[in-house]
């Protein structure tokens, strides 16, 4: 169902009994606020989320310090003899390979 809007002229509106009020003019043009661009020469400093939280975040009341992850240590004495020798030989080969590449 379409609705048609009736279009009428000002004369028809006044003839129907409508009235037109003249409103006083309002000065809408304001002077713009003065904004000066600051010029900074240099590198922009980008903070990580942790650093930003450290400098600009609120202090946590019940924050626990982060625990350092323990380094992995392998107890070679607990391994069977065949596996232990295989593991040690592999490590020796890696070390020898690194030494040769460092010398070149």
Count other C-beta atoms under 10 Å from residue 97's C-beta.
10
The encoded tokens of residue 35 equal 């904004």
User: Does 15 score more than 90 pLDDT?
Assistant: yes
Using CA atoms, how far apart are residues 90 and 99, in angstroms rounded to an integer? 14
The SS3 of residue 65 is coil
The encoded tokens of residue 23 equal 């409103």
Query: Please, are residues 55 and 47 in contact by the beta-carbon 8 Å criterion?
Result: yes
Count other C-beta atoms under 10 Å from residue 84's C-beta.
13
User: Does 46 score more than 70 pLDDT?
Assistant: yes
User: Does 91 score more than 70 pLDDT?
Assistant: yes
Query: Please, are residues 84 and 76 in contact by the beta-carbon 8 Å criterion?
Result: yes
Using CA atoms, how far apart are residues 74 and 88, in angstroms rounded to an integer? 12
User: Does 31 score more than 70 pLDDT?
Assistant: no
User: Does 95 score more than 70 pLDDT?
Assistant: yes
- pTM of the full structure: 0.26
Model confidence at 14, pLDDT cuts 50, 70, 90, reads very high
């Amino acid at each position: 169902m379409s609705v048609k809007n009736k279009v009428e002229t000002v004369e028809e509106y006044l003839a129907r009994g409508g009235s037109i009020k003249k409103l006083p003019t309002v000065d809408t043009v304001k002077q713009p606020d003065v904004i000066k661009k600051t010029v900074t020469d240099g590198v922009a400093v980008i903070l990580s989320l942790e650093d930003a939280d450290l400098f600009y975040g609120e202090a946590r009341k019940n924050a626990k310090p982060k625990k350092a992850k323990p380094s992995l240590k392998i107890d070679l004495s607990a391994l069977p003899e065949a596996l232990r020798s295989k593991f040690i030989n592999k490590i020796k080969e890696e070390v020898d390979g690194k030494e040769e590449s460092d010398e070149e």
